[in-house]
Chain A
Amino acid sequence: MSAMPAQVLFDRTQRLNARLRAVKPEICLERARLVTESYKQTEGEPMILRRAKALHHVLNNMSVYILEDELIVGKQAGKHRAAPLFPETEAIYLEKEIDIFPQRHTDRLLISPEDRRELLEEILPYWKDKCTETLLMKRLPEHLRAAWLGDEHGIFHPEIHVRGSLGHIVPDFERILKEGFAAQMNKAKEKLAAISPYDPEAPSKRQFYEAVIITCDAVIDFARRYSEKAREMARAETRPQRRRELEKIAEVCAWVPANPARDFWEALQSYWFTLLICYIEQNGLAVSSGRFDQYMYPYYRKDIEEGRLTREEAQELLEACWVIHTEIMRAYDLACAKYFSGFAIAMDMDLGGVDKNGKDATNELSYMCLEADKKINNPQPNLSVRIHDACPDEFLLKAIEVVREAGGGMGGGKPAFYCDEVIVPLLVNDGVPLEKARNYVIVGCVEPASPGDTLGMTNACMSNLAKALELALNDGRCRLCGKQFGPRTGDPRKFKDFNEVLQAFEAQVAWYVSNMIETLNLIQNVHQEVYPLPYFSVVLGGCIEAGKDCTRGGARFNYTGPQGVGLADTADSLAAIKTLVFDEKRMTMAELLEALDRDFEGREDLRQILLNHAPKYGNDIDEVDLLARYVGHVYCREVKKGRDPRGGHYRPGLYAVSANVPLGLNVGALPSGRRARTPLADGGVSVKHGMDVNGPSAAMRSVAKIDHEEATNGTLLNQRYNPTALNTLEDRKKLADLIRTYFALGGLHVQFNCIDAGTLRKAKANPEEYRGLLVRVAGYSAFFVELDDSVQDDIINRTEYMEVR
């Protein structure tokens, strides 16, 4: 690369990003068409070979193209930022919802009339009786059908892996960059040659290794096609600068990912192909980048030291790579689009943290990545920073700058902060060796795992703790439709003390969790049967050694991770019952339940008492905070009883993504004062919207009372923060101290959503959900929602002014 002035360099990033953001997302049929062609040709062959051949057919025939300004290449679909289809799992909903895609409010996708016809008439008919959803429904026993689908207001939601593949891994990038795919192919060939005919697993191992060989071959061919494309474009290119770039792309793609990366550019390109193909093989989400700043650093440093690259050139390359992360698209069904809205791919990337010896591993690239993200500010990658006691303040403060920038952009809530001192022991206690635990990565949203060798199915399911309490307070019946749904745990009007409420709650949780575990295991059986993942098995450590596909337990670490949602609503409800019904006797259970049945109609006074005269989680009040801890514990205890068909165990998580909204639709009025069908508390262990009136330090003390180490699949704390309180370095240092103290108290994760003008407008219109929003001005104390309309408008205007500064 020739040296160019900085301004010109940065323009490339801006152009790439502007073009990406201008795309109106469409559906692309290319992959669906190719997969169907391949499947028709391989009928009757072992499924793992059919999957490998299908991937080979796709990678060999899909469009390859390179757009203007691009330096790192590789696309997932025939059109820029279009969503490819995966009829293997999606056929049923695609047929049902195809006409909704262009119209729906969340994650809208366009489709042309010709494509629509082809999909409906030529592609989907082949898949309808073969896709995972159909197969699962045929295998689902009656009692699970009743627990999961028997009621329109179901309590757990495993649809993500019924209508999609598994996703949720961090490929072993370090190995792939170092060795390349040709070496993986050779390993498979050696293993194949060494199979003993007496090994009872010889036939399945043979099939597996053959699938690996086909897969590696497909990957290498795919890169070669890009190399040829670049070469061809270079020949036609008249501008010398771009021609040199295209020639370089052609060289890079001719070498990686087949061979070991030799420099930073090759490492970035090899990384991107490796990640991209995870999203072409299967449609599962949250295939994550892991510790990018760690495995990429040796290549960067070598180039800098040997004078092959300047820091500015490296930054430009990095940013060119950064932008394309947001090209990955999915055509979710409507329900999943609600659970994970905003085309959330949850492609996590980790920066900073300790190395395998426990020392700080932050490096120059860590800062460059933060800088890239601050500038590009897109939803992907989903950035995480690992904080530990000896982490440099400078790094933490740089990450806080990104929080402030992300406030008004597409990437709100970034980066997320994680505590090494909580997560490392959590993993060690869960059976991960210390060195691997120190090298942990975050998969998807918040789920910690050993890097490169874990198939954790970490977002297996969303489940509804608030619904369990509803059932406990209604003898197992749904409060919305009256249907007997859970076990009969008794008429609460006859409960003699608060303890009986807790017993009924625990019985409902135990009932639903056991059914959830069996359902999730059945879903995994279907994936083992029809959706093995040979490519995942190449990039995940352990599979080639074991001769086993990752869906059958080939990866070194295996888990299934379902989430409990509604912790704050449940704890607040329990506290209200304890305080107002049993301790103070301000209302009877009968009176309370009648008001809940009527969704508080005509009983606003009672609702206000529930809201204002009982302690609320998030204010550093032990009485209710310990109930939150109890709710989390009950969930974790029940989930940990599960074992999965890959030889792994169940890991409980306490986080929600955006599932708190659709799950809330299934829950009637609650004793916390929450109205029927309204959202549950967001985040996971976050405080119910607006209930934390004592500020962030009190909220964090409350949240830290939950046993985060018990929730081995992760916890999520969303905290609102005022960006005006981040203007000066002094302010940012205070946020840094807030974060470090939360972690010292035992918190696992926190992310900050900056309060923008939009938030304030919502607060003005809907004060109940924003009661805790403090106006922070020296020597002054008041809440935003209590101010006069005109003063509120003033603040909104000022905030808006700041955003466009």
Chain B
Amino acid sequence: MVHHIEQNEGNGHLGTKGLVFDIQRYAIHDGPGIRTLVFVKGCPLHCPWCCNPESISRFPELAYFKKRCIGCGKCVEVCPHGAISFSQDEGFVADRDKCQACGECAKVCPPKARVISGTAYSVDDVLRVVERDRPFYRRSGGGLTVSGGEVLLQHEFVRELLEEAHRRLLHTAIETSGYGPWQNLEAIVAHTDYVFMDVKHMDSERHRQVVGVSNEIILQNARRVSELVAEEPSRRELVIRIPVIPDFNDSESNIRATAAFVREEVRSARKIELLAYHRLGESKWERIGKQCPTRGLEPPTKDKMDVLRRIVEDAGLDCQVRR
């Protein structure tokens, strides 16, 4: 695969440009008030349950919405790399090795069955969209939330974005896995009013096996963010999120251990949110030519989530279940 933005390799940003795969307005579950959610592309972890798998690669990629396709074949005609072919059995197939995500097919595709996931945005480009809902933020205490992907992979862009947002008096939030160098996270958090941080598993080895990296950096960053928040508790808030994944981290002992860690070492976290695994990402994997690793995995039941919620509450922490 030849990437058309070589300079993106390494730190995942284009000067002051960032790679964004979606901007969602009226987000109501990602921070206070009514918010605009900016999804940046690229993630150092590879969680098999990921519900935004198009966020993993740090490069633009072609997504194909098979349900929308009307079979007109325009994509085959225009592809400069001969990457798309038609076969009776499989319909229109893109050869992902030949595809350079140039977007020529997306431009002509009548139903937009082919779209490029990942567009270069300047800070101004993003804020132009974000600003449109300013009247809604004003009343609700909302603002901008940057999610991913992993914000730390495009830390310079994200920092500039948050800094500029702050300069324009917008409330800011981030959602992060916490995996990355502390100085980068620190620079981002400096311009963040509300931090969501994941703690996926307390067992480092198990964390490494499933997610691809061990949890030490993450736990350490959680402690440090907590200290930072503690310095100015009226300015900033921290929420720890646990994605509850069956057969991975949903044991009572792991949740108990996580709650204990948060209570003892991440003291400024105002609550823990338990995000129940959901199947909504399944369809997205296929779209970008990948297999969904958790296909068939059943979401945790309401009862199960209630049990886990009580464990967190018993540890003396506020807990919210989202499912």
Within 8 Å CB of B65, what residues of A?
Answer: 786
Q: Tell yes or no: B251 within 8 A of A by CB.
A: no
Using known A-B contacts A787-B283, A794-B279, determine if residue A744 contacts B135 with beta carbons closer than 8 Å. yes
The yes or no answer to B307 lying at the interface (CB within 8 A) is no
B147 at the interface (CB under 8 A from A): yes
Is the beta-carbon distance between B25 and A777 smaller than 8 angstroms?
no
CB–CB B33/A737 < 8 A = yes
CB <8 Å contact, A738 and B26 = yes
Q: Tell me the complex Cα distance, A741–B133, Å.
A: 10
B140 contacts partner chain A, Cβ-Cβ < 8 Å: yes
Chain B residues positioned under 8 Å from A785 (CB to CB): 67
Given contacts A734-B28, A734-B33, contact A612 B136 (CB under 8 A): no
Tell me whether A695 and B275 are in contact (CB under 8 A): no
B169 in contact (CB, < 8 A) = no
**A-contact 0/1 string along B213-234, CB 8 Å cutoff:** 0000000000000000000000
Report A-chain residues with C-beta under 8 Å of the C-beta of B22: 781
Task: Say yes or no: is A205 at the interface (Cβ < 8 Å to chain B).
Answer: no
Partner of A778, one of B30, B33, B110, B284: B30
B1 interfacial by beta-carbon distance below 8 Å: no
Which of the residues A604, A725, A779, A790 comes within 8 Å of B28, measured between beta carbons?
A725
List residues of chain A with CB within 8 A of the CB of B275. 778-779
Please state if A788 and B282 are interface contacts (CB–CB under 8 Å): yes
Residues of A within 8 A of B25 (CB): 694-695, 697-698
A146 located at the interface, meaning its Cβ lies under 8 Å from any Cβ of chain B in the complex: no
Q: A701-B132, A737-B34, A745-B135 are in contact. Are A778 and B29 (CB under 8 A)?
A: yes
| Chain B residues, Cβ within 8 Å of A725 | 28
Q: Which A residues lie within 8 Å of B133 (CB)? A: 697-698, 701
- Report chain B residues within 8 Å CB of A777: 29, 51, 278, 280, 322
Verify if A102 is at the interface (C-beta below 8 Å from B): no
Contact B26 A697 (CB under 8 A): yes
B139 touches A744 (CB 8 A): yes
B72 at the interface (CB under 8 A from A): yes
Find the residue from A606, A612, A725, A785 having the highest chain B CB count within 10 A: A612
Given the complex, which residues of B lie within 8 Å of A701, measured CB to CB? 132-133
Contact of B74 with A by CB under 8 A: yes
A785 CA to B132 CA in the complex, in Å?
A: 26
- Residue B161 interfacial (CB < 8 Å): no
Give the most central of B26, B30, B241: most A CB within 10 Å: B26
CB within 8 Å for A791 and B280 given contacts A613-B110, A737-B33? yes
**A779 B147 Cβ-Cβ under 8 A:** yes
B140 touches A786 (CB 8 A): no
Tell me the chain A residues, 600-622 only, with Cβ under 8 Å from chain B.
604-609, 611-613, 620
Write out the residue numbers on chain B whose beta carbons fall within 8 Å of the beta carbon of A410.
Answer: none
Separation of A725 and B27 alpha carbons in the complex (Å): 11
Of B110, B278, B284, the contact of A606 (CB 8 Å cutoff): B110
Taking a contact as CB atoms under 8 Å apart, the answer to whether A778 and B322 are in contact is yes
Q: Which of B51, B111, B139, B283 contacts A741 (CB 8 A)?
A: B139
Residues of B within 8 A of A767 (CB): 67
Contact of B111 among A608, A737, A774, A794 (CB under 8 A): A608
Q: How far is the CB of A693 from the nearest CB of chain B, in Å?
A: 10
Chain A residues with CB under 8 Å of B116's CB are none
Neighbouring A residues of B175 by C-beta, 8 Å: 779
Say yes or no for B206: interface residue by CB 8 A criterion. no
- Chain A residues lying within 8 Å of B26, measured Cβ to Cβ, are 695-698, 738
If A737-B140, A744-B135 touch, whether A612 touches B33 (CB-CB below 8 Å) is no
Asked if A15 is an interface residue, CB under 8 A from chain B, the answer is no
Given A737-B136, A791-B279, A781–B39 Cβ distance below 8 Å?
A: yes
The residues of B that contact A613 with a CB separation of less than 8 Å are 110, 112
Confirm or deny: B254 has a beta carbon within 8 angstroms of a beta carbon on chain A: no
B116 to chain A, nearest CB (A): 14
CA distance A606 to B72 in the complex (A): 10
* B281 contacts A by Cβ under 8 Å: yes
CB distance from A385 to the nearest CB of B (A): 18
Does A782 make an interface contact (CB < 8 A)? yes
B259 interfacial contact with A, CB 8 Å: no
Q: How far is the CA of A697 from the CA of B136 in the complex (A)?
A: 7
CB distance B280 to A737 under 8 Å?
A: no
Chain B nearest CB from A763 CB (Å) reads 12
Q: Are A605 and B34 in contact (CB under 8 A)?
A: no
Chain B residues whose C-beta falls within 8 Å of the C-beta of A612 in the assembled complex? 110-112
Question: Is B7 at the interface (CB under 8 A from chain A)?
Answer: no
Assembled-state Cα–Cα distance A459/B23 (Å): 41
Residues of A within 8 A of B279 (CB): 790-791, 794
A785 to chain B, nearest CB (A): 8
Q: Cβ of B5: which chain A residues have Cβ within 8 Å of it?
A: none
Known: A777-B278, A786-B283. Is A605-B140 also a contact (CB below 8 A)? no
Q: How far is the CB of B244 from chain A (nearest CB, A)?
A: 12
Counted as pairs of residues, one from A and one from B, with CB atoms less than 8 Å apart, the total is: 117
Say yes or no for B24: interface residue by CB 8 A criterion. yes
With A698-B26, A778-B273, A781-B52 already in contact, the answer to whether A608 and B140 are too (CB < 8 A) is no
A733 in the interface, Cβ–Cβ < 8 Å?
Answer: yes
Beta-carbon nearest neighbor of B296 in chain A:
A790
Bound state CA distance, A43 and B130, in angstroms?
71
Known: A695-B25, A698-B26, A786-B67. A620 touches B112 (CB 8 A): no
For the complex formed, measure the closest distance between the CB of A767 and the CB atoms of chain B, giving whole angstroms: 7
Q: A100 in the interface, Cβ–Cβ < 8 Å?
A: no
Which residues on B sit within 8 Å (CB–CB) of A780? Answer: 51-52, 278, 280-281
Contact with A along B8-45 (1 / 0, CB 8 A): 00000000000000101111111001100101000000
B315 close to chain A: CB less than 8 A = no
> Contacts A612-B112, A777-B322, A778-B322 given: A605-B70 contact, CB under 8 Å?
yes
With both chains docked as a complex, state the minimum distance between the C-beta of A603 and any C-beta of chain B, in angstroms.
Answer: 10
Question: Which residues of A lie under 8 Å from residue B280 when comparing CB positions?
Answer: 775, 777, 780, 782, 787, 791
| Residues from chain A with Cβ under 8 Å of B34 in the complex | 697, 734, 737-738, 741
CB distance from B295 to the nearest CB of A (A): 9
Contact present for B135 and A741 (CB under 8 Å): yes
A24 to B278, CA, bound (A): 44
Partner pick for B74 among A605, A607, A694, CB 8 A cutoff: A605
- Set of chain B residues within 8 Å of A775, measured between Cβ atoms: 280
Of A697, A774, A786, chain B has the most CB atoms within 10 Å of the CB of A697
CB neighbours (8 Å) of A787 from chain B are 280, 282-283
With CB as the reference atom, state the residue of chain A lying closest to B73. Answer: A605
Chain A residues with Cβ under 8 A from B147's Cβ?
Answer: 779
Q: Is A782 in contact with B30, judged by CB distance below 8 angstroms? A: no
A641 within 8 Å of B (CB atoms):
no
Q: Does A776 contact B (CB under 8 A)?
A: yes
A420–B136 Cα gap in the complex (Å)? 19
Report the Cα distance A671→B140, complex, angstroms: 38
Question: Complex formed: what's the CA distance from A775 to B196 in Å?
Answer: 21
Which residues of B176-228 are within 8 A (CB) of A?
196
Residue on B nearest A795 in the bound complex, by CB: B280
- Contact across chains for A734 and B140 when beta carbons are under 8 A apart: yes
Chain B residues with CB below 8 A from A733, complex form:
140
Q: CA separation between A43 and B182, bound complex, in Å?
A: 96
Q: A697-B34, A779-B51, A779-B275 are in contact. Are A731 and B28 (CB under 8 A)?
A: yes
Chain A residues lying within 8 Å of B140, measured Cβ to Cβ, are: 733-734, 737-738, 741
B interface with A by C-beta (< 8 Å): 22, 24-30, 33-34, 37, 39, 51-52, 65, 67, 70, 72, 74, 110-112, 132-133, 135-136, 138-140, 142, 147, 175, 196, 241, 273, 275, 278-284, 322
Give 5 closest A-B pairs by Cβ, nearest first.
A608-B110, A737-B140, A695-B26, A778-B29, A608-B111
30 contacts between A and B (CB under 8 A): A604-B70, A605-B74, A606-B110, A607-B110, A608-B70, A613-B110, A695-B26, A697-B133, A698-B133, A701-B133, A733-B140, A737-B34, A737-B139, A738-B34, A741-B135, A767-B67, A776-B28, A778-B241, A779-B29, A779-B52, A780-B51, A781-B24, A781-B37, A781-B52, A782-B281, A782-B283, A786-B65, A786-B67, A790-B279, A791-B279
Q: Given contacts A608-B70, A779-B175, list 6 more A-B pairs with CB under 8 A.
A: A697-B136, A733-B140, A737-B136, A737-B139, A775-B280, A779-B52
